[in-house]
Structure 1
Amino acid sequence: MPEAGLASEVAAIAAEAGRLAMTRWETEFKRWEKVPGSPVCDVDLELDALLRDRLTALLPEAGWLSEETADSRARLDARRIWVVDPIDGTRDYLRHRPGWSVSVALVEDGAPVIGVLDAPARGERWIAEAGRGAARNGVQLHVTPRDQLAGSRMPTDHLPKVDGDLVIVDKPNSIALRIAMVAAGEADLLATIRWGNEWDVAAAVLLVREAGGVITDVLGQELVFNTPSAKAFGLLVSAPGIHDAAVERLAHRAREALES
């Protein structure tokens, strides 16, 4: 259980980073690709430095894992670790679209205990604390009571024919914000069948759990954070009443993808 008041301090730091991102949004800044299809800009690096400075001052003993910092195996020895994506949804940031967020999680013994998403272009601040619930702009979050997979809303650009019984809803580029849509009851389901990074999802995982949802890997196994690879294969986020059905539908596709 995190210390009383710690989540508010983390949210204030994330908001500071969000304000910096907003002041730089309409200015000229450098942008490039780390690898093909993975954009980054110098604002990412500015926010990363700010967040590391502020969060390390808050908990000097905590380890550090961020998309924009070279990884160090020293974090594996830390009981607590900051897991950060300075700008989750960089494509939307670069295109002047609002679907990006600053994502900050405090992970303790492999599980997120504080999760914050600051999405200033959308006027949203999401905060979750282990055992204390989740909220957006001060309003408590609850997943939907849905118990039928057919008709479930999913934030995506397209669906394969086999999933034609699902309903597409608009999605932000930030996967953390897509996960948060399930926490807020604005979507019922989110699934990926690919390798993903811990920093993309750590904060949003806690939002869903504290809102009463279920989030696992795509095979239905528990997500664990601060692993050596800092990756997991596939993600399945849903209202509890449809999670088993979603695992049943997707597990064989995930196994085929892993084998290939």
Structure 2
Amino acid sequence: MDVQKENWQDDLELICDAARQAGEIALGFFGQSPEVWWKNEGRSPVSAADFAANDRLQSLLLKARPNYGWLSEETDDDAARLSCETLFVIDPIDGTRAFINGEKTWCVSVAVVHRGRPVAGVLVAPALEEEFSAVRNGPALKNGEPIAVSEPRSGEPLSIAAAEEMVKKLEQDFRRQIHRIRHVPSLAYRLAMVAEGRIDGTIVRRNSHDWDLVAADLILERAGGRLVDLDDRPLVYNREAVTHGMLCAGAEHALDRLMRHLVP
């Protein structure tokens, strides 16, 4: 069903409220050794907190927007979403490994996607008391205050977040020009760190999913940065396949350098 809108602010307010409620639910499980299961042949953990947060989001959001589609990491995929021009894309806890290990860098990620691109997005990190949000044509905010990506710093290394094997995909001489921070398991939170200028960029390994990326993609874009594939193209969401190839994200000055020295 087509949804004609110019102003998505009401949807942003809706998803922010829902994400806060889901975050409170998840926070109640945090540090309490919730039950954990393993999916994808034992490669990915999911906890009782993920399911509880997902249930709250689904009940709140689909009641408010019954004509929107739905895509969530913790809900069986339904091909009916492909006929929806507007849908919710959800990760009830992005960074589940961090969550179950007692690390605070996890967040609830909620976005509204319209015709393949995000138009409203929020990341709620309740253990850190942080909330990132953005709406199409509006500013990127952290706890209600505008944020922006980093500015170029002459002579200083680029600060990036990436797994060690991703750093090895950079040309060897260029690696001396970067400072790699400690790995952050939540991809959405890493992108938010780029959006607020705490780091300059990140490299994303293959097989990230729509729900890992989409809310943070919009927040980064509105903060002045970009998330792109290796052909320098923005991502399209709500395709039949919800996984992506290798990606780069960063402030423009960092993205240019990373893309030039990245060996796929």
- When normalised by structure 2's length, the TM-score is 0.90
For 2:195, which of 183, 205, 208 is the aligned residue?
A: 183
Q: Match of 2:184?
A: 172
SS at match of 1:7: helix
Q: CA deviation at 1:207?
A: 0.6
Report the 3-state secondary structure (helix = DSSP H, G, I; strand = E; otherwise coil) of the residue aligned with 1:33. strand
- Structure 2 CA distance for aligned equivalents of residues 121 and 232 of structure 1: 29
Q: Would the alpha carbon gap of residues 90 and 74 (structure 1) be closer, same or farther in structure 2, given more than 3 Å must change?
A: same
Which piece of structure 1 moves more, 77-86 or 187-196? 187-196
Q: Establish whether residue 50 from structure 1 lines up as the match of residue 56 from structure 2.
A: yes
Q: Report the CA distance shift for 1:5/1:231 in structure 2 as closer, same or farther (over 3 A).
A: same
Distance 1:33 1:164, change over 3 A: farther
The answer to whether structure 1 residue 89 and structure 2 residue 95 are counterparts is yes
Aligned partner of residue 102 in structure 1, secondary structure? strand
The one-character-per-residue Cα deviations of 1:223-250 (angstroms, maximum 9, x if unpaired) are: 0000100111012111112323322222
The amino acid of 2:123's aligned partner reads: L
Q: 1:18 aligns with which of 20, 23, 29?
A: 23
C-alpha separation in 2, matches of 1:2 and 1:149: 42
Show CA shifts across 1:65-119 (max 9, x none): 1101111111000010111000000011101110100000100010000110000
Q: Secondary structure at the match of 1:83?
A: strand
**Contact kept in structure 2, 1:149 and 1:246, CA below 8 Å:** no
Offset, 1:26: 3.2
Q: After alignment, is 167-176 or 202-211 more displaced?
A: 167-176
Deviation, structure 1 residue 7: 1.1
1:63-82 mapped onto 2 (5 Å cutoff): 63-82=69-88
Give, in angstroms, the shift of residue 58 of structure 1: 1.9
Q: Kindly tell me the number of residue pairs found equivalent between the two proteins.
A: 252
Q: Is the 1:147–1:241 contact (alpha carbons within 8 Å) kept by the matching residues of 2?
A: no
Distance in 2, matches of 1:122 and 1:154, equals 21
Determine if contact 1:148/1:241 at 8 Å carries over to the other structure: no
CA distance in 1, matches of 2:7, 2:211: 19
Picking from 122, 127, 137, the partner of 2:143 is 137
> Whole-Å Cα distance in 1 between the matches of residues 110 and 198 of structure 2?
22
Q: Deviation per CA, 1:10-64: give whole Å up to 9, x if none.
A: 1111000000011122334210210322111121111111111111112111101
The equivalent residue for 1:244 is: 256
CA spacing shift, 1:248–1:10, aligned 2, 3 Å: same
Bigger Cα displacement from structure 2, 2-11 vs 80-89: 2-11
Distance 1:108 1:114 in 2: 9
Q: State the TM-score, normalizing by the size of structure 1.
A: 0.91
Identify unmatched segments of 5+ residues in structure 1: 255-260
Identity rate, percent: 31
- Alpha-carbon distance in 2 for matches of 1:227, 1:153: 32
2: distance between equivalents of 1:84 and 1:106? 9
Distance 1:224 1:239 in 2: 20
1:182-237 Cα shifts (integer Å, max 9, x gaps): 10000101112312111001000001000011211133122000010011101211
Cα offset for 1:149? 9.8
Do the aligned partners of residues 128 and 71 (structure 1) sit closer, same or farther apart at CA in structure 2, a change above 3 Å counting? same
Q: Which AA in structure 1 matches 2:207?
A: W
Secondary structure of 1:121's counterpart equals coil
Structure 2 CA distance for aligned equivalents of residues 96 and 110 of structure 1: 35
5 Å matches for 1:175-214? 175-214=187-226
Give the whole-Å Cα distance in 2 for the aligned partners of 1:42 and 1:2. 36
Unaligned runs of 5+ in 2: 1-5
Indicate the larger mover: 40-49 or 169-178. Answer: 169-178
Picking from 115, 118, 129, the partner of 1:112 is 118
Distance in structure 1 (CA, Å) of the matches to 2:86 and 2:238? 9
Give the drift of 1:147.
Answer: 7.2
Q: Check whether the contact 2:19–2:110 (CA below 8 A) recurs between aligned residues.
A: yes
Q: Which moved more, 1:152-161 or 1:180-189?
A: 152-161
2:140 match: secondary structure = strand
Distance (whole Å) between structure 2 residues aligned to residue 4 and residue 248 of structure 1: 37
What SS class does the counterpart of residue 185 from structure 2 fall into? Answer: coil
